[in-house]
Structure 1
Amino acid sequence: MSWLDEVLRIMPAHPGAGDSVDWHVVETSWGTRFPNDYKEFTAAYGDGAIDDYLALMAPEIYTGPGGEPSYAGMQQESANAEDVWRTAKPEAAEAPRLITWGVDSSADILCWLATDSDPNKWPVLVWSRGDARWAEYACGMLEFLCRVLRAEFDACPLSDLSLWGAASPRFLHTVEEQRLRKAGIDPWTGEPDPFAGMFGD
């Protein structure tokens, strides 16, 4: 069973989830290929969140250091990760290339140490806000997610235990979350949203 199959078993994707990405365009704009397991995740799940805690990002077109991204997603969070690296490691000459694929409600940053020419060898790096430290995990994104959901690391890599060994985690694509909110439904409880309509569209 592949890591994607295992994640899908633990956390089934809802109908309509997944994003279609022109990887040639994206990889050309970023100047690097992306890991195969991340491409599989993007096709099956896409841009969204798990249990209203961990946001997982699909890549936007890279606009360069001086340009404005189309939205504050992977590009902005990758710049944030490199800023955190420089602050945490002032003795380092410069930050390595970090590409962020996830952030959570505890202000942790989940990214790749994107220094190997083979993206399938990129380890996962996690900035734990609670511990104020970086930790490296010698696995890909899907294996990392699976091992968090199955509580298989020595300790939870994230600052909160919300997803640690979660019995029935739920993923919602960003578009589906927005659709439910517009319908006046809290996307995470299924109950009427008491704040619906208070803040515009």
Structure 2
Amino acid sequence: MSARADVDALRRLMPPPRDGGTSVDWEGMALSWGRPFPPDYQRFIEEYGAGTVQGFLVVDAPQAKVPLEEAGLDGMVQETLTVEGAWELADKSPELEGTSPRLINWGVDSAADMMCWDASGEDPAAWPVLVFNRGDDLFSRYECGMVEFLTRLLRGEFPKSPLEDVDLFGRGEAAWTKR
């Protein structure tokens, strides 16, 4: 699907805020991270902004990749460092064994699961979502973008919930709270 189609599908399950999303200097973000962000994430942030799904799953705001002391202890830079550390210690699903993906974190949940992209590929529209399920201490790969991941999670379209807590899995509809 295209970024527009993905976000339109999600809008039917989780309406965006009335006051809209957040305007971002995507070119500046791309320069700081050394690659552009996926188009579905860009459209999502422009329509929803950063916030939480059902008070449970946080979607991080884009944050320039700067040293941690400049970035602060809450946000995309810190969460990316955290997911990189977890990668070194955690188990991986069979398709991830022996790989060394470039990780960029985009979300966390209240069960301390982390969602990121495998940003190794040249085309950000094709970056799969990797989930670190803290309860299973396991990284798994999902062949979809961030917005499709959220849509499929709410529809219950994975064989089982990718997240430790199953509150969002198959819920159908969800409320979005902008931060």
Match of 1:43 in 2: 46
**Cα distance change of structure 1 residues 67 and 112 upon mapping to structure 2, 3 Å threshold:** same
**Cα distance change of structure 1 residues 87 and 69 upon mapping to structure 2, 3 Å threshold:** same
Runs of 4+ aligned structure 1 residues displaced above 2 Å come to 92-96
**Length, aligned pairs only:** 172
Match of 2:164 in 1: 159
Higher relative contact order (CA 8 A, sep 6+): 2
- Equivalent AA in structure 1 for residue 51 of structure 2: G
| Shift, 1:67, TM fit | 4.4
**Cα distance change of structure 1 residues 67 and 31 upon mapping to structure 2, 3 Å threshold:** farther
SS in 2 for 1:2: helix
- For the 8 Å contact 1:149–1:166, the answer to whether it is kept is yes
Aligned pairs (5 A) from 1:88-99:
88=90, 95-99=100-104
Match of 2:79 in 1: 77
| Shift, 1:72, TM fit | 1.6
| Correspondence for 1:147 among 146, 149, 152 | 152
* Unaligned residue ranges in structure 1 (runs of 5+): 175-201
1:114 matches 2:114: no
| Shift, 1:96, TM fit | 2.8
Q: Which structure dedicates a bigger proportion of its chain to helix?
A: 2
SS in 2 for 1:127: strand
| Shift, 1:2, TM fit | 1.1
| Shift, 1:162, TM fit | 1.1
Q: Percent identity?
A: 42
Match of 2:94 in 1: none
**Cα distance change of structure 1 residues 115 and 168 upon mapping to structure 2, 3 Å threshold:** same
Higher-Rg structure is: 1
**Cα distance change of structure 1 residues 94 and 7 upon mapping to structure 2, 3 Å threshold:** closer
With normalisation by structure 2, the TM-score equals 0.89
Aligned-residue RMSD, C-alpha: 2.0
